[in-house]
Structure 1
Amino acid sequence: MVGEIHSFLLVASCTLVSSSRPHIIFILADDLGWSDVGYHGSVIKTPHIDALASEGVKLDNYYTSLLCTPSRSQLMTGRYEIHTGLQHRTIDMMQPLCLPIDETILPQKLKDRGYATHMVGKWHLGFYRQECLPNNRGFDTFMGFYQAMGDYYYHNVSTGKFNGWDFRRDNDVIAERYAGQYSTHVFADEARDIISKHNPDVPLFLFLSFQAIHFPLQVPSRYADIYNTLIPNSADRRTYAGMVTCMDEAVGGVVATLKHSGLWENSVLVFSTDNGGIHSLGGNWPLRGGKASLYEGGVRGVAFVTSPLLPSRVRGTINKELLHMTDWFPTLVRLAGGHLMGNKRLDGYNQWDTISQETPSLRNEILLTINPLKRKPNHFVDDPYADTDSFDILMRAAIRVGDWKLITGPTGNGSWVTPAEFGFNSLHPEERTHSVELYNVIADPNERHDYSRDRPDIVGALLDRIGHYYKTSVPVLNPPQEVTRADPALHGGAWSPWR
């Protein structure tokens, strides 16, 4: 049950109809909930996303991390967050921290294959040194912001007494120039401009990392107004829904430009969320939990792949094979004809044949997280696994192996939160009585029944697996904030590298 695939070089063939170097467009949504797309039954209107997903392969068993920075680090490196030191939380704006410089990341590998590499949108992998910035990590151009969030119209970020611009084209601060312009529109226009000017003979890698749907809740009123009747009981949920629909429109515009420019026929487009939707507003129902929790609503993500290069027999299918955010690195590098030699040991697998040929996934397990800085005091009188020696069950951790998922320590919010338009109350779990939870997420994807007391054999095996991974983890990177040096007032009024 817990057998591990030991193959590392992962040279599965890249079955394509045309070029060995297709254009690659990766669109990343921020905090998009499982049930916030039309094709998962939402009232939120996402016609362009729905159409693209229906023409491609929907990834139904796909996992991310539970927070922004860890998830993005896994996308860029193909390595679990425990192997980069970013397993604790997101990077704070004044932390002297970034995705470690000695990690080779996706755009660097694609540049080695002759790709033009462009990034538009949210970075959130650190900016305290120049070496941390997108332009110095393999992207030819960058237009966007460094931090977790900001004002969608005025592109500034405030914390306490500190306030600064956070909107750049490469190294130039352009926030004032775009003041009043909604970021989803700005990013879509930038992406379309890159595509329209691109030489089709040169392979393109475009990473479009939307700010939406992250807080703050802001959208032009014409999008929110669509939901006045559909969601009459929550203005915030209407705004959120409008933000999703605005992003959907932007995705449609980007694809239209790809088609008009002649690039689409040799393109592969990946759409993914970075984690689950936020509890209070994002729709993860019927999955349990949401962003920042270890339940399925926090880590099981919306994703699909679409391309004219996919074989016709897989277009319009739902792929239920086990996939993870770390798989994109080796999959896309190999799709581009690149090699994985010289990289640190990867945790991701080249899953192109799984996506395009419906072959079994190369993985049977996913480590979701191990965070030694998040521990739960053991107040439980009758904890059946309190004496286990394979892993500290008070530590936040989660793993999926086959059909089974084990959670230890602090779980995050465990409620089943219903979107406002449903008109009935959310469901809350009974008070927890022990530090280990076990779910069969195939038979029970909504995590209603905890098997931890019924199946000690499976609990023991999965605790051994988590213990194995913990021995390979690197120390957590979590330095204190450097408030006096990072103050935007010292850097021309913008959040900027300070070391």
Structure 2
Amino acid sequence: MLLEQARPDKAVCRMLAFVLISLWPALVSGQLWPFGPPNIVFVLADDYGFNDVGYHGSEILTPNLDKLAGEGVKLENYYVQPICTPTRSQLMSGRYQIHTGLQHDIIWATQPNGLPLDSPTLADKLRETGYSTHAIGKWHLGFYKEDYLPTRRGFDSYYGYLTGSEDYNTHYRCDDMHDAPGGDGVDTDERMCGYDLRDNEVPVKDQLEKYSTQVFTEKAVNLIKNHEQKKPLFLYMAYQAVHSPLEVPEDYTWNYYNIQDKNRKTYAGMVSCMDEGVGNITDALKKAGMWNNTVFVFSTDNGGEILAGGNNWPLRGWKHSLWEGGMRGVGFVHSRFIQNNGTQTKELMHVSDWLPTLVGMAGGDTNGTKPLDGYNQWEMISKGKPSPRKEILHNIDIMFPPKGDNLYPDIFDTRTRAAIRVGEYKLITGDPGNSSWIPPPSTSLYFPKTSHDAPEKNVWLFHVTSDPDEEIDLSSKHPDIVKELLQRLAYYNSTAVPPVYPKSDPNCDPKLHNGFWGPWVS
């Protein structure tokens, strides 16, 4: 009798089932979450090449990344920037680098420069939405004043290093002094050296001879284990891996006895260590009961550095270049809230899209930001809908040395280093950087392809959808399309702010700050 009284009424069950079915599209699209807003874990690899992940056919073993990508959505028409600071600035601000003054080079450790303070970061907006926000690893968005530190840019906690690269074990780096625009370049007679590792804003001195990939993974695992789940978690996991210098514990290279190239072998081990770290982080989320309510994102920050073991085959070019090998990124999203898991998309996406995508998915808004260049891509990622993005400005760098003659002076100065993707076409002007196609050194199955471009050539047009390797230049065949894309470059150039690339400040010298890189201007 008691059991019969406790049994739910059939009409009530039908009503609950109807409500659940009705709400399910909203649940999985992020408009309404069954367990509160999802945790967001964003893993950013450094200098990770297009041909360095298993699911792109690499000889490097990445079982954890392959599994996560295979169960999620692979982003196969996804673009980042050719170098570190520009990618990170666009990820955090949702704005093109021409709109933040960071369109030339990176932020060097000795320069008084940083991501402008006039717009909230991704972390700021997620914290406004109720998230607990944490950053681990590489910052590289400026630190000359305390206001530019991660803990002042929206993160509740930070553990990592502030500069662009360093020794993996000693956490020590040296940097040259850099001239202001119009100067003579780098003064290699003046070098400044110091340690770079911080727990929030306090220099860390107890991690010497501990490999950074493992240190950062351990910090992430402990953070997840101790996370107060009343608040959703945003973890920005910016690994040092797999940026140079080429260093890794020997255990991680044993599986690569078949790779004879020393740089490639060490690099492969560095990738394996990072892949293991990703597996440990996902395991920690599962043990904490957080995985089923997590959106996991993986991205590289730029193409692989050929001279430091990376590879982007079959794409042309590498890190620093405006060719596809410098900018087409490895990326995927994994979440149970994605309807089309186990797929790949070739819809157009850019690193600046993450801010509006993740903030919108989490139920936040972009009020208070400067005008964004990114688009909310959650519907594309989670449902396979068309991308709202139709073009990408890769960059316009007026400080880069000009190349060749100005072929279209009434539209845009083609001597300027610039690139834009509009629809299925990509236009490059000026000096795009090394134009080689480099097969992985561990194989003899491919032969290097050689560019036959004239030394002063400064305009290229590619139908990049059908020619992602950028082998067939169409600039002579379709001058009308060249002009259309040059007009788009001219438009963006009219919206650009002046580049900010200050001369190095000798007051940054770590020897003046207890041997550590850190803020030096009050």
TM-score range, shorter chain: over 0.9
Provide the rounded CA distance (Å) in 1 between the counterparts of 2:222 and 2:411.
54
Helix, strand or coil at the partner of 1:250? helix
Residue 337 (structure 2) pairs with residue 321 (structure 1) = no
What aligned pairs does 1:291-440 form with structure 2 within 5 A after superposition?
291-311=319-339, 314-378=340-404, 386-423=407-444, 426-432=448-454, 434-440=457-463
For residue 17 of structure 1, report the CA deviation from its aligned partner: 5.9
What aligned pairs does 1:163-242 form with structure 2 within 5 A after superposition?
163-174=193-204, 176-229=205-258, 231-232=259-260, 234-242=261-269
Contact 1:187/1:210 (<8 A) preserved: yes
Provide the rounded CA distance (Å) in 2 between the counterparts of 1:419 and 1:282.
8
Q: Deviations along 1:318-353, whole A, 9 cap, x unmatched?
A: 011000000000000111110112211000000000
Provide the rounded CA distance (Å) in 2 between the counterparts of 1:340 and 1:170.
26
Residue 312 (structure 2) pairs with residue 284 (structure 1) = yes
Provide the rounded CA distance (Å) in 2 between the counterparts of 1:298 and 1:429.
16
* Aligned residue number for residue 23 of structure 2: none
Provide the rounded CA distance (Å) in 2 between the counterparts of 1:422 and 1:369.
34
In structure 1, stretches of 5+ residues that fail to align are 1-11
Helix, strand or coil at the partner of 2:442? helix
Contact 2:31/2:363 (<8 A) preserved: no
For residue 283 of structure 1, report the CA deviation from its aligned partner: 1.2
Provide the rounded CA distance (Å) in 2 between the counterparts of 1:358 and 1:59.
11
Provide the rounded CA distance (Å) in 2 between the counterparts of 1:404 and 1:14.
32
Contact 2:98/2:496 (<8 A) preserved: yes
Contact 2:403/2:416 (<8 A) preserved: no
The one-letter amino acid of 1:262's match is: G
For residue 426 of structure 1, report the CA deviation from its aligned partner: 2.9
Farther-moved stretch of structure 1 (430-439 vs 273-282)? 430-439
TM-score by length of 1: 0.94
Provide the rounded CA distance (Å) in 2 between the counterparts of 1:362 and 1:377.
34
For residue 386 of structure 1, report the CA deviation from its aligned partner: 1.3
Contact 2:29/2:382 (<8 A) preserved: no
For residue 162 of structure 1, report the CA deviation from its aligned partner: 2.1
Helix, strand or coil at the partner of 1:208? strand
Contact 1:213/1:243 (<8 A) preserved: yes
Count of residues in Structure 1 that have an aligned counterpart in Structure 2? 477
In structure 2, stretches of 5+ residues that fail to align are 1-27, 176-189
Q: Percent identity between the aligned chains?
A: 49
Residue 67 (structure 2) pairs with residue 51 (structure 1) = yes
Provide the rounded CA distance (Å) in 2 between the counterparts of 1:388 and 1:329.
36
Contact 1:17/1:310 (<8 A) preserved: no
Change (3 A) 1:497 1:57: same
Match of 1:457 among 471, 476, 480: 480
The one-letter amino acid of 1:275's match is: N
Contact 2:94/2:372 (<8 A) preserved: yes
For residue 225 of structure 1, report the CA deviation from its aligned partner: 2.3
* Aligned residue number for residue 492 of structure 1: 514
Change (3 A) 1:353 1:20: farther
* Aligned residue number for residue 148 of structure 1: 164
Match of 2:145 among 129, 151, 154: 129
The one-letter amino acid of 1:76's match is: M
Provide the rounded CA distance (Å) in 2 between the counterparts of 1:377 and 1:286.
26
TM-score by length of 2: 0.90
For residue 14 of structure 1, report the CA deviation from its aligned partner: 3.3
Contact 1:275/1:300 (<8 A) preserved: yes
Provide the rounded CA distance (Å) in 2 between the counterparts of 1:86 and 1:431.
29
For residue 309 of structure 1, report the CA deviation from its aligned partner: 1.8
* Aligned residue number for residue 115 of structure 1: 131
Residue 501 (structure 2) pairs with residue 478 (structure 1) = yes
Provide the rounded CA distance (Å) in 2 between the counterparts of 1:392 and 1:325.
26
Match of 2:103 among 82, 87, 92: 87
Contact 2:47/2:302 (<8 A) preserved: yes
Helix, strand or coil at the partner of 2:398? strand
For residue 201 of structure 1, report the CA deviation from its aligned partner: 2.2
Helix, strand or coil at the partner of 2:251? helix
Provide the rounded CA distance (Å) in 2 between the counterparts of 1:237 and 1:48.
20
Provide the rounded CA distance (Å) in 2 between the counterparts of 1:226 and 1:75.
34
Q: Deviations along 1:110-165, whole A, 9 cap, x unmatched?
A: 11011110000000001100000000111010000001100000101123542111
Contact 1:15/1:356 (<8 A) preserved: no
For residue 13 of structure 1, report the CA deviation from its aligned partner: 6.2
Q: Deviations along 1:188-226, whole A, 9 cap, x unmatched?
A: 000000000012221100000000010100000111222
The one-letter amino acid of 1:171's match is: E
Contact 1:36/1:42 (<8 A) preserved: yes
For residue 387 of structure 1, report the CA deviation from its aligned partner: 3.6
